[in-house]
Amino acid sequence: MFDATVREGVLRLRRPGTRWLSTGWAGGRSRGDAVYNVSVPEGFDRTDLAAYRDERLARAGFTEKPCNCETDRAVPADRDAPPTLFTGVAMEHARGARRGPVVAYATAGLSNPATLPMEPEREATDSATHATAVDLADAADSIPHGPGTVNLILGTTRRLAPGAAANLVAVAAESKAVTLLHTAGVPGTTSDAVVVGDDPTGESAAFSGSATPVGAAARVCVRDAVRASLRSRYPNDEFPGPPADAEHGVVADGRAEVFNP
């Protein structure tokens, strides 16, 4: 499977020649030996994230670079850096879960919850609300680390078709949202990210939905890893206050215009 190591506030998940798909900062498709989850200090305001990543990996003694042997045109051959996620959660709260061909690692912090009420208070014609929502979205996009963040790294020994790899990101996000709603009453935070890795030499998997071996295993791995990380981070279930009152929270309380195609 995948080898996990934590040093100097950095989690490395390693398996030689893995294909990665990341939704995080500088994400996309790549191929290499490792992926990283980096804990940043409180008040972190660095914007030179590539340099900061290199500093932290060097400090932790992690020096892997992606191999340039990928022939799949969907994976750039000139990628010169491993997939890296950032979080305000200390790596002492990282937790992993394994089932069948899948392993998942999670760090879960909820100081910046993002909620989506089913009965929003505002109307679709409220232009001020629309502007606020856009501003909040832009702000969240510009901060890849965030004060909390639920970061997920999934690895599978199966060889995923391109669509199956992308769909596994959706499966992971869905499982995370269900777990967080049940446990803490929020579906996620403003800066959540997912990285999926698969083995290009493994048994082929054309699909990764919830009825497949990969998808089913991913769902329970994400659930159990997220719950374990939450229990470590909030041992007495003392989660941050109501999302609307959280210092870094966002509530999407607007209404969209609904119409027939």
How do strand 10-22 and strand 28-39 relate by DSSP bridges?
antiparallel
Task: Give ∠ CA 68-70-73 in degrees, rounded to 5.
Answer: 120
Which residue ranges make up each domain of the chain? 3-251
More confident residue, 129 or 202: 202
- State the Cα–Cα distance between residues 179 and 250, nearest whole angstrom: 19
Residue 1 is predicted with a pLDDT of: 83
Residue 197 is predicted with a pLDDT of: 98
Residue 147 is predicted with a pLDDT of: 59
Tens of pLDDT along 187-225? 999 999 999 999 999 999 999 999 999 999 999 999 999
Confidence at 237, pLDDT banded by 50, 70, 90: confident
What pairs with residue 11 in β-bridges? 6, 37
Quickly name the fold that domain 3-251 has: L-amino peptidase D-ALA esterase/amidase (3.60.70)
Q: Where would I find the beta strands (DSSP E) of the chain?
A: 3-7, 10-22, 28-39, 84-87, 95-99, 102-108, 114-115, 150-156, 159-160, 193-198, 204-205, 250-251
Percent of the chain with pLDDT over 70: 81
Residue 241 is predicted with a pLDDT of: 66
95, two tokens? 């937790």
Quote the mean pLDDT of the chain. Answer: 86
